[in-house]
């Protein structure tokens, strides 16, 4: 989940070899950055794969094809899970606990009816407390704003998503928002640690403490305490409604954003829409032991029946999420190759799905990415 450089030819750097003053510097010379692996690091790693619903099988299938073409050191343990199931099957959770890493498509969440979201269940069962969505401009993809490179880090396990609802009396429903010191501190620590490790300059806490003075006040208090331990990183705060307005007017002012659960969902989707759409934004969920990678914004999105039937779903978001997964697994060169190939295809503009203004099918985009691999 390293900070993105656009263009992203991160695996090439200018030579630092010494030269005499009389010898002109050869600006065309490039040096490959060497990744010194530990013995055995090239052993293929198992990854739990959940194709999901709707367009999920299409976009996860795209990832499988690209991984095979790259000869990436991963193999998939595939499980069929649908969002209308009552719970995530035990064997799926056992596989993720064993493999530590999962790639998934969207799982549909039925509206109402008391059926809980399996997407949320996974996060709670595995304590995937941090959601990360990277919203950035892709070269060649026209958007309303330039210089957008925002990372939204969202608390994933409590807040309004705690699911604590009940009917007090007929016609009156009570829904509880839960904020704890423990969860607020650890998401703040993750956000500042991310900023520190990825050379980010600022962390912005998003809140509504002017109204929810105790709950969001506790979240802010935790963020402020953690901020004092990172004096080299600027820290500021913004009320969530003003945040949304600022996002659509001056998104370039934001760097890393840390939020409670519900606000993060809204902020990440807004930022994704500004930077090019949910079809191109990568993301993942991580905890102390496990990580699940999926489409960054609107992760539960399963598309519509027409897109699935016509096989025109955009695979870019999940391809970039799988690059994040490769880097998480300590396969940085494979991650770089995949990201470069995707960005080449976007920049060329010949193969794009309908959401990006094109007419290509999922398979046509996949074939173009495979052809673009170095």
Distance CA 90, CA 116 (A): 16
Distance CA 48, CA 292 (A): 9
Q: What is the pLDDT of residue 20?
A: 37
Query: Is the pLDDT at 19 greater than 60, yes or no?
Result: no
Instruction: Write the pLDDT tens digit of every residue in 67-78.
Output: 999 999 999 999
Are 118 and 228 a contacting pair, CB within 8 Å?
Answer: no
Length of the chain: 374
Q: Which long-range contacts (CB under 8 A, 24 or more apart) does 34-42 make?
A: 35/332, 35/333, 37/330, 41/330, 42/73
Q: What DSSP line would sit under 207-246, residue for residue?
A: E-TTTSTTHHHHHHHHHHHHHTT-TTSEEEEEEHHHHHHH
Tokens matching residue 287: 């905890």
Query: Is the pLDDT at 31 greater than 90, yes or no?
Result: no
Instruction: Write the pLDDT tens digit of every residue in 128-146.
Output: 999 999 999 999 999 999 9
Tokens matching residue 312: 């025109």
pLDDT mean over 90-94? 97
Q: What is the pLDDT of residue 120?
A: 87
**Banded pLDDT at 199 (limits 50, 70, 90):** very high
247 or 7: whose pLDDT is higher? Answer: 247
pTM of the model: 0.88
Instruction: Write the pLDDT tens digit of every residue in 207-266.
Output: 999 999 999 999 999 999 999 999 999 999 999 999 999 999 999 999 999 999 999 999
């Amino acid at each position: 989940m390293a900070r993105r450089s656009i263009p992203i030819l991160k695996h090439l750097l200018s030579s630092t070899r010494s030269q005499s003053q009389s010898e002109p510097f050869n600006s065309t010379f490039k040096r490959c950055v060497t990744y010194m692996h530990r013995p055995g690091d090239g052993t293929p790693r198992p990854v739990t794969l959940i194709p999901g619903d709707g367009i999920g099988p299409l976009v996860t299938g795209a990832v499988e094809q690209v991984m095979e073409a790259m000869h990436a050191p991963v193999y998939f343990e595939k499980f069929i899970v649908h969002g209308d199931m009552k719970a995530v099957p035990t064997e799926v959770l056992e596989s993720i606990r064993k493999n530590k890493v999962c790639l998934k498509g969207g799982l549909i969440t039925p509206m109402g009816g008391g059926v809980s979201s399996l997407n949320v269940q996974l996060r709670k069962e595995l304590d995937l407390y941090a959601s990360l969505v990277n919203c950035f401009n892709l070269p060649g993809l026209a958007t309303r704003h330039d210089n957008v490179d925002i990372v939204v880090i969202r608390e994933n396990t409590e807040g309004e998503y705690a699911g604590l609802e009940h009917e007090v009396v007929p016609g009156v429903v009570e829904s509880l928002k839960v904020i704890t010191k423990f969860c607020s501190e650890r998401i703040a620590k993750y956000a500042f640690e991310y900023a520190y490790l990825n050379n980010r300059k600022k962390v912005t806490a998003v809140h509504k403490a002017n109204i929810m003075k105790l709950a969001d006040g506790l979240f802010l208090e935790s963020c402020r305490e953690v901020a004092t331990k990172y004096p080299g990183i600027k820290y500021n705060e913004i009320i969530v409604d003003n945040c949304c307005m600022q996002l659509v007017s001056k998104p370039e002012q934001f760097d890393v954003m840390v939020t409670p659960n519900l606000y993060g969902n809204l902020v990440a989707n807004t930022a994704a829409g500004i930077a090019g759409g949910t079809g191109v934004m990568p993301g993942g969920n991580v905890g102390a032991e496990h990580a699940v990678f999926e489409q960054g914004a609107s992760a539960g999105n399963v598309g519509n029946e027409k897109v699935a039937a016509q096989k025109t779903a955009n695979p870019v978001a999940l391809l970039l999420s799988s690059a994040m997964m490769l880097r998480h697994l300590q396969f940085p060169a494979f991650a770089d190759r995949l990201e470069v190939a995707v960005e080449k295809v976007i920049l060329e503009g010949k193969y794009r799905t309908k959401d990006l203004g094109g007419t290509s099918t999922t398979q046509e985009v996949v074939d173009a990415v495979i052809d673009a691999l170095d």
